[in-house]
Amino acid sequence: MSVEIDVQYSENLSDSDEPPSISEFQAWANLAMREDKDVQLSIRIVDADESQALNNAYRGKNKPTNVLSFPMDIPPGMPEDLGVAMLGDLAICASVVEREAREQNKPSRDHWAHMTIHGMLHLQGYDHIEDNQAEQMESLEIDLLQQLGIANPYESTVKAQMK
């Protein structure tokens, strides 16, 4: 099993935005991959304006958000097994991730790892709309982050901020 990633960067990122390296994204994506198959993933690091536009267009929320997940839908009539499957796309807003890390008093890289893992799980069908789904997804996130030496992001006030 492998995750082949393509990372794209908005040309409008601010100088204070410090996205992780491609190798960090690769490690986090590999860790979060639950299925035993080869997949491709696109990660786009966006600015607040692009995040807000995407969030408004696809979720009806007119504000920037930390991560958006766009699972790949295979068009009708296309063979499902083309060798390497396209898992989907993640749009991660650098300024929101950096701001949330500061507000939650945690290292920026820890929050980047969490948002990447969170988005990867969404691409694989995990969700947190219903309480039982949220418990399953959060438990998996906590376990994966612990493997990286990262503390539970859902403790106390952090959980309230994530919702």
Domain ranges (residues) in the chain: 3-162
The full DSSP string for 5-43 is EEEEE-TT--TT--PPPHHHHHHHHHHH--SSS-EEEEE
pTM confidence score: 0.88
**pLDDT tens for each residue of 20-61:** 999 999 999 999 999 888 899 999 999 999 999 999 999 999
Phi-psi region of 147 (alpha: psi -120 to 50; beta: other; left: phi over 0): alpha
- Are 93 and 64 in contact by the 8 Å Cβ rule? The answer is yes
Q: Determine the CATH number of domain 3-162.
A: 3.40.390.30
**pLDDT tens for each residue of 79-106:** 666 556 889 999 999 999 999 999 999 9
